[in-house]
Structures are given as structure tokens and as C-alpha cells.
Amino acid sequence: MTTPDRDSGPHDFSDVADTAARFGEAGYLADDRLATTVFLQTRLDKPILLEGPAGVGKTQLATSLAAVTGRRLIRLQCYEGQDETKALYEWDYGKQMLYTQILREKIGQVVEDAADLGEAVERIAKQDSVFFSERFLSPRPLLQAIDSDEPVVLLIDEVDRADEALEAVLLELLSEFQISIPEIGTVVARHLPYVVLTSNNTRDLSAALKRRCLHLFLDYPEPERELAIIRSKDTGLAESLAVRLVEIVRGLRELELRKSPSISETIDWARTLAVLGVEELSADVLSQTVNVVVKYERDLEKARRAIPSLVDPNAEVPEHLHGHGHGHGHGHGHDHGHDDDSGDVDGRAKRAAKDRPGRHDAAYQGVKGSSDDAAAAPAKKVSTGQGERSFAARSARKRPV
């Protein structure tokens, strides 16, 4: 097994400060923890596992790392039910069969003077390397990264979405930077790749995988850093409005939303407001554009109700944002057009009146006389014989077949 080249040329970082500075030049503002982790990756030759909510810059880190180091980015996007052949390699059986057809005549020449079938098989077996070689191998992202002629950055994105079978396949690559192919042998990395794995925490990853990586949890940044990120993206939004927008987004993240606004979505919201020429962050403007950062209908309703208080803590929620009919229980006692001079604000008297005995008039359900008389009237008696005749008549009826 050959020893991989350990590139320590101009693409490595001199220290943590140099790492942070070069990422900043590439438009990625890395804090001290992240810059330290990336620097250690380049010195310890270990993969990085970034976990955290979606949209906090995990994937972008790999993209920026490739740009900063001048390496080619190879990306494996993981998904549920992913076959390992889609991640490692596939055999090009069509090409293999084509070669077999073309070489059929040559194979005949190889075995034509064989003494028996056993000798013919032995002669063909000696030619296995012709039909099981890299020329029939279609490399996928993992093998591409290992077998690349130049140093690369390998991004294994959303590894938590992949099945555990693929996670097991990654263990050899992450620890030894090699891949075992039964038909060919072990392929060892020519140049050690920078490997970045990302996870949105949809499931727990194995301890074996985490043990092979430098682990870092990325959360939503502090207000000052998020504001600095927005500034670095040149959104066109005024500084004062950007400050207020960051505060409002952080307020939305405190709501119990199915998906909280990400940093990239905050940048999109800032650009949206700048394109619209907004000069003041009013509740109406934010409610009309909040769909840029909130992507589920239930979350939109909750966000729109919260925006007025996020803009102005003393503001009253507009009538059209109360959301009647959804069981929110505001209890405002609105007048729905029923005239009532009795001062019955909450309707208790009306509900009590409906439960009062004898509330119906004489004509209700055809009962004659007063309602009190109807309530006090004795029940009509039915003789035993009449009841038996009625039951017998019903029993004699035949149901249609």
C-alpha cells in the first residue's frame, strides 16, 4: 500500500488567525472555534463533522475551504435509501459486455488448442485482469476524491439522511483514506482530501463515525456576527434597517416554528427589502414579505401574529391577524352583528335562556296549549296488547333480498 502524499505546500494555513483571515477574504466569516477546527483539520489530517440546524453555513464552509485552498470540490449529496454504488463506484457492465463481444474471436484463439475444458478455463482465468480492471469502473464521488490526481475537498452533505449501511462504508475512508474494491483491490488516496461532513441532526450518527472526525456544532450566530455576515454580502439594505431586521429574525427564531429562519434566508430577506426600496421596517411590510424566511403555512400564521409585537412591543395586533376560527381563544368578545340591548357582553344570559324549561311556544313540535302544560302533560299510555300487535306487524315485514 502506497503512502498518500501529505500536501504541506502554499495551500495550508500558517495558524488560526491566518485561517480566519483567508476565509474572510473569501466572504465566509469564521469565528475562532470554526477557524481553529479548520486549521487543525489541515494539520491532523482528520475529517470535520459539522452538526447543527439547516442554513447556518455548514455546506458553505466546504465550498469556501475549496476556494481558499485552490482545491476542486467534490460533493456527495446523501439521501434516504441511497445505494453505496452511487457513492463509491459502479461497474460499467455494458462496456464490459461490449469488450467481450469484440474479443470473442481472440478468446477462441487462446483456447483453441487446449487439451480439455479444464485447461481452457485456466487459460481464460489468466485473462481476468483484462475484464476486471479500472477501465470498466465508473467512479462516484468517494472514489473520485480518493483516486484524484490533485488534492480535493470532499463534501459529504447531510450524512444523517443516508442509511446506516452507507455510514458504515464511510468508516474505512475516513480513517485510512482508502477504499476496498473486491474486484480490483484497495485504492489508496494519492493526495489526502479535506473531508467535510454535514448533519442536520435528523438522526443520531454512530459513535464510530464521530470518533474519526473533528466535531463541531454550528448554531445560529450572535447578533453582532450575523449582522457582520449581512454586511459582507452587500445586500443593499441600510445599516439601521439591517440591525432591526436581525433583531426581528432572532425574535422569530424564538417562536415554536417548524423551521426557523436561517442565515441565508435572513440575507435573502434583507435583499428583498432593499429591492422594494423599504425605508422603514413596518409590521405591514414585514408581514407581506415574511414568506422569504418562513416556509410553512402554519409558521407563516404564527409569524404574522408575532411581527407587530416584534416591531413594537406596545403595538396591538391588527384585526386581520387574529386568526379567528383556528382555536386560538383570543376571547375579545367581538360583536358579530347581533342586536342586544341587555348588556349581555359574553352571551351567558342567552345560553342560560336556552336551557330554561318551557322556553318554546305552544306550536313547538305540534304540542297544543302552553309550554308549561306540555311539560306537565302525562305520557300517553299504551296497552300491552297494542304493543304486541305493533311488534308482530314489524316482525312480519320482510326485508328485500
CATH code, 150 = 3.40.50.300
382 has a pLDDT exceeding 60: no
Give me the domain span that covers residue 255: 223-314
Instruction: Using the Cα atoms of residue 289, residue 292, residue 297 and residue 303 in order, give the sign of their dihedral.
Output: negative
The per-residue pLDDT for range 284-299, each reduced to its tens digit, is 999 999 999 999 999 9
Residue 12, exposed/middle/buried by CB under 10 A (0-12, 13-18, 19+)? middle
CB 78 within 8 A of CB 141: no
203/274 Cα distance (integer angstroms): 38
196/58 Cα distance (integer angstroms): 9
Which of 183, 217, 251 is where one domain is finished? 217
238 has a pLDDT exceeding 90: yes
Residue 101 has a pLDDT of 63
283/290 Cα distance (integer angstroms): 10
| Helix orientation angle between 104-111 and 93-102, rounded to the nearest 10 degrees | 60
Residue 310 shares a structural domain with residue 260: yes
Q: Can you tell me whether residue 174 is helix, strand or coil?
A: helix
Q: In degrees, to the nearest 5, what angle opens at C-alpha 89 toward C-alphas 86 and 95?
A: 110
73/50 Cα distance (integer angstroms): 17
Number of domains in the chain: 2
Residue 186 has a pLDDT of 86
CA proximity to 305, closest of 270, 272, 352, 256? 256
180/186 Cα distance (integer angstroms): 4
Residue 243 shares a structural domain with residue 212: no
**How sure is the predictor about 373, in pLDDT bands with cuts at 50, 70 and 90?**
very low
Of 57-66, 291-300, 350-359, 365-374, which range is least confident?
Answer: 365-374
172/157 Cα distance (integer angstroms): 18
Task: Assess if residue 192 is contained within a domain.
Answer: yes
303 has a pLDDT exceeding 60: yes
Of 113-117, 124-128, 372-376, which range is least confident?
Answer: 372-376
Residue 191 Cα distances to 24, 77, 148, angstroms: 26, 22, 7
Q: In degrees, to the nearest 5, what angle opens at C-alpha 140 toward C-alphas 136 and 146?
A: 95
251/267 Cα distance (integer angstroms): 16
Residue 71 has a pLDDT of 95
Which of 199, 217, 235 is where one domain is finished? 217
Of 45-49, 58-62, 163-167, 234-238, which range is least confident?
Answer: 163-167
pTM over 0.85: no
Q: How far apart are the first and last CA of the chain?
A: 84
Which of 217, 239, 273 is where one domain is finished? 217
DSSP state of 401: -
